[in-house]
Amino acid sequence: MKTRLVEAPFSETFIAQFVALSERIFQQSADRAWLDRLQWRLEKMPDVTIFVAEVDSEWIAYKAGYATHFNRYYSWLGGVAPSLRGKKIGKALMDQQHNWLQSSRFKSVETHVAQDNEAMVRLNLKSGLSIVGMFSKDGEPNFIMKKTF
Ligand SMILES: CC(C)(COP(=O)(O)OP(=O)(O)OC[C@H]1O[C@@H](n2cnc3c(N)ncnc32)[C@H](O)[C@@H]1OP(=O)(O)O)[C@@H](O)C(=O)NCCC(=O)NCCS
């Protein structure tokens, strides 16, 4: 497995790979609204960083986020291809993201996660994030989780 960090601007090929893997990870087709939001985030948000894991040039996992303030980062979206879960790939990408944040100007990373997403909540806890709040997203309870560097 190889991992790499990709930063803006993102090519059309890159975005197509991001969408294709997202559809595998979340097991649903990306609709127009989702694609529009993705495109907007990739083009407009500051310091977008996407850590990609590949095997033989095929994408198997990614972890994406962006800055919300000068020194605060939001870890937005991530996942591992379903057949490759439980092999520490999610943890490896999370570690890379945190190492990169620590070596840059960021002082904290924050993320939102559905409370019933046990795998992601546990991975976040294992990676040093704590639950600092809760909110409801589309009627679904979410945790706000944060780690300070
Ligand atoms: C969450 C996700 C990224 C974890 O990736 P992964 O590569 O399978 O996880 P890892 O093998 O690196 O696991 C690291 C730790 O996370 C926790 N974890 C991972 N999967 C878990 C599961 N199914 N149940 C409980 N804890 C889990 C464990 O603490 C694990 O450490 P351990 O094996 O020593 O106990 C993966 O399940 C996934 O892609 N889920 C769907 C996408 C998603 O929900 N993304 C988050 C919203 S954007």
Cβ of 87 closer than 6 Å to ligand 1, yes or no, is yes
68 and 111 Cβ atoms separated by less than 8 Å: no
The angle that helices 118-126 and 89-102 make with each other, rounded to 10 degrees, is 50
In a domain, 12, yes or no: yes
Compute the distance between CA of residue 72 and CA of residue 77 in angstroms, rounded to an integer. Answer: 16
Cβ of 125 closer than 6 Å to ligand 1, yes or no, is no
Cβ of 65 closer than 6 Å to ligand 1, yes or no, is no
Rounded to the nearest integer, the mean pLDDT of the chain is 97
Cβ of 137 closer than 6 Å to ligand 1, yes or no, is no
Cβ of 123 closer than 6 Å to ligand 1, yes or no, is yes
Helix (H) or strand (E) holding 15: helix 12-26
In a domain, 118, yes or no: no
In a domain, 16, yes or no: yes
In a domain, 59, yes or no: yes
Report helix, strand and coil shares of the chain as percent, to nearest 5: 35, 40, 25
For residue 76, give its domain range.
Answer: 2-109
Mutational pocket test of ligand 1: of 110, 120, 144, 145, the residue with most ligand atoms within 8 Å of the beta carbon = 120
Please tell me the total count of domains within the chain.
Answer: 1
What is the CATH classification number for the domain harbouring 65?
Answer: 3.40.630.30
Amino acid at 56: D
Ligand 1 center from residue 119 Cα (angstroms): 4
Give the closest residue (by CA) to ligand 1 atom 15: 123
CA-wise closest residue to 143 among 117, 107, 108, 109: 117
In a domain, 48, yes or no: yes
Compute the distance between CA of residue 51 and CA of residue 142 in angstroms, rounded to an integer. Answer: 24
Residues 6+ apart with CB under 8 A from 34: none
- What string of pLDDT tens digits covers the 149 residues of the chain? 999 999 999 999 999 999 999 999 999 999 999 999 999 999 999 999 999 999 999 999 999 999 999 999 999 999 999 999 999 999 999 999 999 999 999 999 999 999 999 999 999 999 999 999 999 999 999 999 999 99
